[in-house]
Amino acid sequence: MIPKATGVSASCSRYSLIEMGAMNRTIRIGVLGGMGLALAGCSANWGWYVVSPMTPKGLSNLQFLLQGLKQTIALSLTAILISVVVGLLVSLPGLSERRGLRAFNRIYVEIVRAVPILVLILWVYYGLPQIADVSINVFWAGVIALALSDSAFQAEIFRAGIQSIPRGQHEAAKSISLGYVDTMRFVILPQAIRRILPALGNQFVYMLKMSSLVSVIGMQELTRRANELVVTEYRPLEIYTILVLEYLVLILMVSAGVRWLERRLQTDQRG
C-alpha cells in the first residue's frame, strides 16, 4: 500500500511542477537562493551594512555595484549578436561542396576555438593597436574578443543544426526554383534555429559569464566594480555575494527568455 501511495503523490507533484511553467520556476529558484543567502547572512561573520540600502554609504555602494549591470548587459548583448551573425557566416562555407571553402571554415574554427578568452581579450586590447594603428576602447576590445571567441562555437552549432535538416528539404526548395539565399532564409534556417535554440541559449549564458573577464582591462562592468569596492571597503564576502546574485538574476532571466522562445516557436509549428 505505502509504495503505491508514494508513487501517486510523486506523479502529482511532477505534474504540478510542469504546470507552473518555466518563468514561475525561475522566480522560485531565485527566491530560494536569496533566502538561503539571507539566512547565512544572519551569522556573525557577515557584515551586510556595507551594501545596506538603509544607510547612505551602503546605498551608494549598492548603486555603484548595480550600475555595472548596464555595461555587462550591453557588452554581452552586443557580443552575442555579432557572434551569432559571424558564426552563421562562418558555418555556411563549412557546408559547401568546395574543399577550399570547407578548409576556411575548419581553420577559422580550430584557431579561434584554441585561444583562451582571457588571452584573446588581452591580445585585442594591448596587442591589436600596435599592429593595426587603431585606438580601441575597453568596451569594443571586450566585444571583439568575446564575439570572436564565441563565433567559432556558434559556427559549429549552426553547422550541426543545418546538417540536421533532411536533404529532402533542400531538394524541395530546388524543385520550386528557390536560390541558395532564399532556401537558407525561408526553408533551412527557420527549422535549424528551432533545433539549436537550447545550444544558443547555452552560449548566451556562457557569454554573460565570460564578460566578467573583461574586467581585467578595466571595463567597469559588474566584476570590476565589485573588485574596486572590495579594495576600499575590505568586505569581499558580502560584495562578492552580491556579485554572484547579480549574475544569477541575469542568467535566470536569459534562461526564462530562451524557454519562452522555444515554446513560442514550438506552437508556431503546430498551429
Partner 1 sequence: MDSPVNAIITLEGVGKFFGDFKALNDVTLSVGFGERVVVCGPSGSGKSTLIRCINRLERHDSGRIIVDGVEMTDDRRSIETIRREVGMVFQQFNLFPHLTVLQNLTLGPLRARKLSKSESESRAMQYLERVQIPEQAGKYPAQLSGGQQQRVAIARALCMEPRIMLFDEPTSALDPEMIAEVLEVMVQLAESGMTMVCVTHEMGFARRVADQMVFMDRGEIVEQAPPERFFNDPQSDRCKRFLQQILAH
Amino acid at 7: G
Kindly compute the dihedral angle of the four CA atoms of residues 73, 85, 120, 160, in this order, to the nearest 10 degrees. Answer: 110
Pick the binder of partner 1 from 130, 176, 231, 264 (CB under 8 A).
176
Residue 182 touches partner 1, criterion: CB under 8 A: yes
Shortest Cβ 166–partner 1 spacing (Å):
8
**Minimum CB distance to partner 1, residue 84 (Å):** 19
Residue pair 80/203 in contact (Cβ under 8 Å)? The answer is yes
Tell me whether residue 100 or residue 271 sits nearer to partner 1 (CB atom): 271
Three-state DSSP class for residue 166: coil
Residue whose grid cell is 563549412:
94
Query: Could you tell me which stretch among 3-11, 34-42, 187-195, 212-220 binds partner 1 (CB under 8 A)?
Result: 187-195
Q: For partner 1, which stretch binds (CB under 8 A), given 41-49, 162-170, 230-238, 244-252? A: 162-170
Residue 172 binds partner 1, judged by CB under 8 A = yes
Task: Assign 76 to helix, strand or coil.
Answer: helix
- Cell numbers at 19, concatenated: 504546470
DSSP for 163-188, written as a single string:
HTS-HHHHHHHHHTT--HHHIIIIII
Asked whether position 227 contacts partner 1 by CB under 8 A, the answer is: no
C-alpha distances (whole Å) from 127 to each of 110, 217, 218, 219 are: 21, 12, 16, 17
Q: Which set of grid coordinates corresponds to residue 197? A: 535554440
| Contact mark string toward partner 1, 7..46, x via CB under 8 A | ----------------------------------------
**175 touches partner 1 (CB under 8 A):** yes
Determine if 99 is a binding residue for partner 1 (CB under 8 A).
Answer: no
**Closer Cβ to partner 1, 7 or 179, answer by number:** 179
d(CA 202, CA 192): 16
Q: Which stretch binds partner 1 (CB under 8 A): 66-74, 83-91, 141-149, 166-174?
A: 166-174
C-beta of 182: minimal distance to partner 1 in Å? 5
CA distance 214 to 199: 23
Q: What are phi and psi of 53, to 5 degrees?
A: -70, -5
Using CB under 8 A, which of 58, 73, 139, 169 touches partner 1?
A: 169
Please identify, using beta-carbon distances, which residue of 193 and 230 lies nearer to partner 1: 193
Say which residues have a Cβ less than 8 Å from residue 37's Cβ, sequence separation at least 6.
241, 245
Q: What is the C-alpha separation between 254 and 93, in angstroms, rounded?
A: 30
The site for partner 1 (CB under 8 A) is made up of: 166, 168-169, 171-172, 174-179, 182, 186-187, 190-191, 194, 268-271
